[in-house]
């Protein structure tokens, strides 16, 4: 059982703490991202100058940083937990899969061009992993100089034998950076002691010595029934269990990559809006829709390939999300018959929103002459908006603020753009009153609304995050009495809830000792 700390004891524990700590997991989704976010919020609460770090991430959910780059969504959340603006040094290597065998490589926030990629992967290079390790250590060194504590998240499991050579994401980094490691395991998956002991056994002797303790995650039930197993584990490994964290029901935090179903929330209004989000194979930044998942007036559903044999669900609003491979995902959409379902939905008066890649799909043509996302070529769009898009090597990465105008109403918003496409309007179509979004920094306009007011497209991610903008969009979609939802406030509340849990269920005296050792 862990000790209950007073506020004064916690302040004393965290006073002067300095160093680094790496959180590795026995499996993917063991709780690494969540634990790093919770530790960041807990330390920041007690005045520690703390920052998050993930050497290498593979994810399609990303965020634009304050220095104009791109990092994984989980690291952006961890930055929020630490009361920091997201920075490219928090995730210096990001891999964004564009097919089953290919991925866009993003180094310190910037996507490599074809020429740059050759220097990383070509025959004249010293090898991608060594060069990537140099980049990772460069960012980590800067963070150590700026922050008292750096909390590091591993990737997957350190015991993946086929990935051990040249590893920069787990023990390879920990050894190079000389930082202590704790390992977290998810008891809800079953076999938690085998996971922990097996992971430890597959590490080298020096790596085993680097592991300073364990955390058991998502426990339900009577902790006394687990104690004999904990005692055995500590005796067998000679390493402490630093905490047993309870299963936190309805913990609403930005997902790194996995799609999260809509929670069972109480309905507080009689009117509901039925919203569908189409799940493409390369769907990106689906965290855009977290405010809709959590909205008490919205019946929210994801529609995936597994649903293709079923009748299309009832919907008031269908959303086409972002995509890392727009032309391939457009072809997939047609294979499922979703293009015809979308047109039927519009014939019956439904509304459609396309975000980023989904916006591009709604147009006339998507051209990729240089093979930026896949094989070079051109695809015919859905033909629902008067736009045409050409994919280019130069990626737009920018945080934006502006004004959304719909149905003669306006709302301020803040969000970000992250895309390769350059979109042009048909020269034969007047654009007055058809672009709903004014971007303040550039005095430019974004997006398009169809003549019949049923379709809206935009490059802006995060439009639903601002309460007034979300409310205006829902009213446009047909929810006349839409209430406001503040996803930023929810995020802060959930991070505080997570920190409270760590205060109660972790041995923070041992943990701070490990960090400062």
How many secondary structure helices (H) and strands (E) does the chain include? 16, 26
- Which strand (E) or helix (H) includes residue 320? strand 317-320
Instruction: Say if residues 410 and 360 touch (Cβ distance below 8 Å).
Output: no
Question: What are the C-alpha distances in Å from 83 to residues 43, 52, 495, 506?
Answer: 10, 11, 11, 22
CA angle 351, 355, 360 (to 5 degrees): 100
9-14, Cβ contacts within 8 angstroms, sequence gap of 24 or more = 10/46, 10/503, 10/508, 11/46, 11/47, 13/46, 13/508, 13/509, 13/512, 14/43, 14/46, 14/47, 14/48, 14/512
CA dihedral 330, 333, 337, 343 (to 10 degrees): -70
Cross-strand partners of 20: 150
Strand, coil or helix: 162: helix
Give Cα 149 to chain centroid, integer Å.
23
Catalytic one of 274, 286, 295, 461: 461
Task: Find all residues with CB under 8 Å of 272, minimum gap 6, and list them.
Answer: 297, 298, 299, 479
Catalytic one of 82, 356, 420, 470: 356
Alpha-helical segments (H) within 326-422: 326-335, 338-347, 357-361
Would you call 179 a catalytic residue per the annotation?
no
Would you call 461 a catalytic residue per the annotation?
yes
Cα separation, 364 vs 486, in Å, equals 35
Of the candidates 276, 265, 275, the residue with the CA atom closest to the CA atom of residue 307? 276
Cα separation, 265 vs 272, in Å, equals 13
The number of beta carbons lying within 10 Å of the beta carbon of residue 5 is 17
Residues carrying an active site annotation: 356, 461
């Amino acid at each position: 059982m862990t000790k209950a700390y007073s506020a004064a004891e916690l302040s004393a524990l965290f006073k002067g703490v300095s160093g680094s700590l790496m959180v590795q997991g026995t499996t993917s989704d063991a709780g690494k991202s969540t634990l790093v976010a919770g530790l960041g919020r807990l330390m920041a609460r007690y005045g520690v100058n703390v920052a998050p770090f993930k050497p290498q991430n593979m994810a399609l959910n990303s965020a634009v940083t304050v220095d104009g780059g791109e990092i994984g969504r989980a690291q952006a959340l961890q930055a929020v937990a630490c009361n920091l603006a997201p920075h490219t040094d928090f995730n210096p290597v990001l891999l964004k899969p564009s097919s089953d065998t290919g991925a866009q490589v993003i180094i310190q926030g910037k996507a490599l061009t074809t020429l740059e990629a050759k220097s990383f992967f070509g025959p004249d290079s010293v090898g991608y992993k060594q060069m990537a390790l140099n980049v990772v250590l460069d960012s980590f060194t800067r963070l150590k100089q700026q922050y008292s504590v750096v909390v590091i998240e591993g990737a997957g499991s350190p015991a993946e034998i086929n990935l051990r050579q040249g590893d920069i994401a787990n023990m390879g980094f920990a050894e190079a950076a000389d930082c202590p490691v704790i390992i977290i395991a998810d008891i809800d998956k079953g076999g938690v002691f085998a996971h922990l002991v097996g992971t430890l056994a597959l590490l080298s002797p020096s790596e085993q010595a680097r592991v300073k303790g364990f955390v058991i995650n998502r426990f339900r039930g009577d902790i006394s029934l687990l104690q004999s197993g904990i005692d055995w584990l500590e005796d067998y490994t000679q390493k402490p269990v630093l905490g047993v964290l309870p299963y936190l029901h309805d913990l609403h935090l930005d997902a790194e990559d996995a799609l999260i179903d809509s929670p069972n929330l109480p309905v507080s209004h009689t009117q509901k809006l039925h919203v569908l989000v189409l799940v493409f194979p390369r769907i990106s930044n689906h965290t855009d829709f977290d405010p809709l998942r959590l909205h008490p007036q919205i019946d929210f559903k994801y529609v995936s390939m597994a649903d293709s044999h079923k009748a299309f669900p009832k919907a008031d609003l269908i959303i086409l999300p972002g995509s890392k491979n727009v032309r391939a995902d457009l072809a997939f959409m047609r294979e499922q018959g979703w293009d015809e379902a979308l047109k039927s939905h519009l014939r019956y008066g439904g509304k459609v929103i396309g975000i980023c890649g989904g916006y591009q799909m709604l147009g006339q043509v998507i051209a990729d002459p240089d093979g930026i996302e896949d094989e070079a070529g051109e695809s015919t769009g859905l033909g629902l908006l008067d736009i045409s898009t050409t994919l280019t090597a130069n990626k737009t990465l920018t945080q934006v603020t502006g004004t959304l105008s719909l149905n003669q109403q306006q709302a301020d918003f803040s969000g970000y753009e992250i895309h390769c496409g350059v979109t042009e309007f048909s020269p034969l179509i007047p654009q007055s009153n058809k672009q709903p979004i004014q971007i303040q920094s550039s005095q430019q306009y974004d997006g398009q609304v169809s003549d019949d007011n049923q379709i809206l497209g935009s490059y802006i991610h995060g439009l639903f995050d601002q309460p007034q903008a979300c409310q205006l969009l829902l009213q446009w979609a047909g929810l006349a009495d839409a209430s406001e939802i503040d996803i930023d406030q929810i995020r802060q509340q959930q991070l505080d809830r997570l920190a409270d849990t760590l205060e109660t269920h972790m041995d923070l005296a041992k943990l701070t000792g490990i960090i400062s050792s």
